[in-house]
Amino acid sequence: MSTPTSSVSGTERGGCPFGSAGPTDFDHNSSDLSESTIWGEYAALRARGRVNESSAYGGFYLLTHFADVRAALRDPDAFASGHGHRVPVVGVPRAIPIDYDPPLHTEYRQAMTKALTPDRVRELQPFLRELIGTLVRDFHDSGGGDAVTGIALPLPLRVLTEVVGFSGETVARLRALTEEMWSRVNDHDYDEARKDIRALIDAEIERHRTGRMEDYLGWLLTVRVAGRPITDDEAARALITLAIAGHETTMNAAGSLMWLLARDPELQDRLRADPDLAPRYVEEMMRLRTPAQNFARHTTRAVRIGDVEIPAGSRVLLSYAAANRDEEQFPNPDAFDVERAGRGHLGFGWGIHQCLGALLARTELKILLETLCDLPPIRLAGEVTFGSLQGGVHFGPVTLPLAFAD
């Protein structure tokens, strides 16, 4: 894998040892990483040691062992977020809430959680059952096809209209604009890369203000943070997060789940015989496939992990996906095992930045599985394709041709 920027080795920068292996050139944004290579890359990093340094992007540290990634996520004072959640950092990253630290982060999260509370998710259940039922039955009635465009993508987009208050026209443009954004994030200023999505969101804010709309988006414009009214800029940044993270993650999770079932008839039969297993299938998919794979932090002080000291001010990429296949934590880690204890993985992250939409996603995916169990089994009907990690983070089937065993 090539690296687009010059490298500064950790030895030059901090004088720290990296074990016998030396720095790697691991680049989570590389187009070489896809289904056939990425899991082996993660395994190789885990085998090299608890702390690796990549020479890409001027140098960054990598944590891939479950215990270390989890410990970092539990220590947001030492592993802070205020310098952005990605590597590389281009411009000034200001995604709300993930590029902020407490106390402001806490206030932003509270305002965003309002859309996603347990009460709200319970209230949404009839809508979710109706929506998912319609999507899956239509897909079945048309003889199957690409399950990403037929089910996995429209599901979260429609949910965004209901949960946030975006229009159908807005969410219809979201996927293409998001893909375009990912193609620009590594070599454009932060806000420049997101300007088309920002324009879409700004128009939604205007529409809600003019129409005095009383949905979540309308409410968000009226909240107070840090003892003052939220600004339109802050509301827009929070809404961009809901728009992007709210569809890309669920799309990949739903696609991954259907792919796992379609490629393994025995696994699917077991669920169909006992649909109460659906939540376990969801958790084990989140562990094994980890739709959002890598997030960055920066160290506010020197941190010792094993025999390596990571200096203060270092970029550290926490690989949830690599950690979720750490055999110290998950024996036979590459196998889908319904018997594993449910929620102890890092598929939604862990700690104060843990996925805001986890409960909604768990509910949607459970209903998707239950709905599929009411129809004939799904089978692969062509070549499944995977791209590289979108933004160095997001991963799932890009196309998933399915048919029903009618």
Partner 1 sequence: MALVVEVDVAVCNGYGNCAVAAPDVFDLDPDTDIVLVKPGRPTDDDEDAVLEAVADCPVRALKAGRSA
Nearer to partner 1, 53 or 284 (CB): 284
- For position 134 contacting partner 1 by CB under 8 A, the verdict is no
Using CB under 8 A as the binding rule, the residues of this chain from 295 to 354 that contact partner 1 are 341-344, 348, 350-354
Residues ≥6 apart with Cβ < 8 Å to 348: 286, 354, 355, 358, 361
Using CB under 8 A as the binding rule, the residues of this chain from 41 to 70 that contact partner 1 are none
Q: Which segment (30-38, 44-52, 119-127, 128-136) binds partner 1 by CB under 8 A?
A: 119-127
Nearest-angstrom CA–CA distance, 169 and 161: 10
Nearer to partner 1, 297 or 353 (CB): 353
Out of 21, 37, 40, 74, the only residue in the binding site for partner 1 (CB under 8 A) is 74
Q: What angle do CA 36, 41, 44 make, to 5 degrees?
A: 135
Q: Kindly tell me the number of DSSP H helices and DSSP E strands found in the chain.
A: 16, 14
Nearer to partner 1, 72 or 116 (CB): 116
Nearest-angstrom CA–CA distance, 174 and 180: 10
Place of tokens 């901090």: 14
Q: Which segment (49-57, 113-121, 191-199, 211-219) binds partner 1 by CB under 8 A?
A: 113-121
Nearest-angstrom CA–CA distance, 113 and 107: 10
Nearer to partner 1, 91 or 344 (CB): 344
| Closest approach of partner 1 to the CB of residue 352, in Å | 6
Helix (H, G, I), strand (E, B) or coil at 370: helix
Nearest-angstrom CA–CA distance, 69 and 254: 25
Nearer to partner 1, 159 or 197 (CB): 159
| Closest approach of partner 1 to the CB of residue 117, in Å | 6
Nearer to partner 1, 41 or 283 (CB): 283
Q: Give the residue from 99, 118, 108, 106 showing the smallest Cα distance to 223.
A: 108
- For position 277 contacting partner 1 by CB under 8 A, the verdict is no
Percent helix, percent strand, percent coil in the chain, to nearest 5 = 50, 15, 40
| Closest approach of partner 1 to the CB of residue 355, in Å | 9
Strand residues in 320-388 grouped as ranges (E): 378-380, 385-386
Nearest-angstrom CA–CA distance, 86 and 394: 12
- For position 116 contacting partner 1 by CB under 8 A, the verdict is yes
**268 close to 375: Cβ distance less than 8 angstroms:** no
Q: Is 341 exposed, middle or buried (0-12, 13-18, 19+ CB in 10 A)?
A: exposed
Sheet containing 145-146: which strands, arranged edge to edge?
Answer: 145-146, 401-404, 378-380
| Closest approach of partner 1 to the CB of residue 344, in Å | 4
Out of 91, 122, 172, 231, the only residue in the binding site for partner 1 (CB under 8 A) is 122
Residues ≥6 apart with Cβ < 8 Å to 82: 99, 100, 101, 298
- For position 358 contacting partner 1 by CB under 8 A, the verdict is yes
| Closest approach of partner 1 to the CB of residue 125, in Å | 11
Nearer to partner 1, 115 or 197 (CB): 115
Nearer to partner 1, 114 or 173 (CB): 114
Nearer to partner 1, 74 or 173 (CB): 74
Nearer to partner 1, 110 or 183 (CB): 110
| Closest approach of partner 1 to the CB of residue 121, in Å | 7
| Closest approach of partner 1 to the CB of residue 341, in Å | 8
- For position 225 contacting partner 1 by CB under 8 A, the verdict is no
Q: Point out which residues bind partner 1 (CB under 8 A).
A: 74, 109, 113, 116-119, 121-122, 341-344, 348, 350-354, 358-359
